Amino acid sequence: MRNRVGRSVLLSFMTLVLFDASLYAHPVSLTDAVVDIREDSTRFKLSITAEDLVLYYELEANKEFRVSRNLIQEASRKHRDFLEKRLQLLNQLGDSLELAYRGIDLSGIPAEGVLQTELKSRWLTYQWTVSTERKPKFITLSQEFGELQPATMDCMFLQNGFLLEKTKQLSSGQVYTVQLDWVNPPTKRPDLAALKAAKQRQLRDRLGIASYSSLYSFLYVSRREVRHEILIPVLTLQEWFGIERETPDFLSVKEQEAVAKQVFDLISENSMQINGKRIEPDLIRVNFFGLDIRDFALNKPPRPINIYQARIGVIVSYPAREGLLEKMTMQWKSYNKYAPVLKSTVFVKGQQPFGHFFVKDAPTFSFDLPKLKVNRPSPIRIGLKAKSLTTDQAKLLANEVVERVYSTVNLVSPRDRYRQLADLGVGEYGEKMFLELEKSLRMAEQGGSVMEVHSTEVTNLRHFREGEGLLVIQATWDLVGSVQHWGHIHTRRDTFTGTIQLSAERGHWAIESFVTTDQKRHPIETKVRY
């Protein structure tokens, strides 16, 4: 097989948020490559996480929140073609070397499947033989995995089974070339001290310390706010400010608190204007993550963390304090030798995500939102004049009421929200009702953010008249909503059971009460946003 992979450096990817990776998503595709070069043969092993397969092929978990081994195995077969098309090994002439597939090791995948929280810690290993000439002088490795999500590869080159050079982190589109000395090849394994030093270097490389593109961010622009989510390798922070700690290799929970304050102060030094006025940020969330991170959004209890493995994730909000956001302008002036550029991925509702580079010579980004149009829906009159509602009429009516109620959550203006509830006849009950709606739609797993509602559907109901003119609907309905963090969209389906009481007022239906008695939350589905 001869592969020709374009050499355009997807700096966009590997520069990821505070990783060393690209820019879009929060879970970064992490792969480990080992190339063992012998005099007359070369073998190549590539390890990937189960999370990659879940994201690439949208594998769904079962009711036990496990992704089955069969699904992972089937996806791994498909993924081989993806890998081989995007892997390239070159000889000293620049010719692509042929890969002969030898199989895959799935021993790390349990028979019962993989829990969603363990997807990033479960690995699969592909194996190939590489058609090199005898005693090759140079070998070059390139990967282009950053097509669907940020992708980082840790590369280890061995010569005759011994470490040739320190492990290097490779972003999508980059190349790594080694020169082989067959006169004086490595002949011994490093001692314990050398192994420890090599491990430290490997950890640094994984964090992107050797790379100039180690800092990334996500900007979410809406009518209510600009939300800035930023991930930073902790070691990178030392270029901005010293990190004091008692133990050289670890940060205690208390020390993390001090670092978090310093990072927030650093972010606050960079101005944000909304509608021409400077807005100070509100700190929404701070988390420290290590290499074993499964999901950036998981709120795990604080714990001491290795300085070489640590990243800090910070979410700040710049709310539109006076009216709705029409224009935002952000400046970023915090740079160092490990972060000479800030690559932000910008998300605006209704638009495709796009990237923006903040650099010293051009530290400003501005964006104007289109003029907001709010359509005031007409009153609900379905079956109003019918002496007895049919089941179909009652279902149409219930669907319309449920959709109107939950759509208030998506309205950006408080005035529009309460006006829509008032149009539904809710009255003074509206504020309490809205707060209850928001509470039911929070994703605790995603930092407590309120879901954006995408759809509602009544699946079952019974209806009857009670007293004079009061219509009672006891129903079950499904709601699909999502929250976006770190370039991922987290979607959840909830099933509600409740009772709706309606009365006829001034020629339309009015809500007397809207009460949910049960809520079942189904497993969250996570996909790459772009």
Residue 227 pLDDT: 93
Q: Alpha-carbon distance 231 to 394, whole Å?
A: 50
Residue 10 pLDDT: 32
DSSP code at position 96: B
Residue 497 pLDDT: 96
**β-pair type (151-159, 29-37):** parallel
* Angle, vertex CA 35, rays to CA 169 and CA 8, nearest 5: 50
Residue 26 pLDDT: 37
pTM of the prediction?
A: 0.56
**In angstroms, what CA-CA distances link 249 with 231, 262, 304, 305?**
20, 19, 10, 8
Tens-of-pLDDT digits for all 530 residues of the chain?
Answer: 434 333 333 323 333 333 333 333 335 678 899 999 998 889 999 999 998 899 889 899 898 889 999 999 999 999 999 999 988 888 877 778 899 999 999 999 999 999 988 888 899 999 999 988 888 888 888 888 876 667 888 899 998 888 887 788 877 767 788 888 888 887 766 554 554 554 444 434 332 223 323 577 889 998 889 999 888 877 678 778 878 888 876 788 899 999 999 999 999 999 999 999 999 999 988 888 764 444 454 556 778 876 655 778 889 999 988 888 899 999 999 987 767 888 888 989 878 888 899 999 999 999 999 887 767 788 899 988 888 889 999 999 999 999 998 988 888 777 788 788 888 888 666 677 777 887 887 765 555 577 889 999 999 999 999 877 789 999 999 999 988 776 667 788 999 999 999 998 888 999 888 999 999 998 888 765 54
- Other CB atoms closer than 10 Å to residue 172's CB: what's the count? 27
With 0-12 / 13-18 / 19 or more C-beta atoms within 10 angstroms meaning exposed / middle / buried, residue 403 is middle
Domains of the chain (ranges, CATH numbers):
26-207 (no CATH), 216-368 (no CATH), 391-528 (3.10.450)
Q: How far apart are the first and last CA of the chain?
A: 31
- Other CB atoms closer than 10 Å to residue 140's CB: what's the count? 16
**In angstroms, what CA-CA distances link 318 with 179, 223, 390, 396, 435?**
51, 11, 49, 40, 22
Residue 218 pLDDT: 87
Q: Alpha-carbon distance 485 to 490, whole Å?
A: 8
For 311-446, strand residue ranges (E) read 311-319, 327-331, 342-348, 354-358, 364-368, 442-443
Q: Which residues contact 453 (CB under 8 A, 6 or more apart)?
A: 406, 407, 409, 410, 441, 479, 480, 481
Q: Which residue has the tokens 């042929």?
A: 98
DSSP code at position 362: B
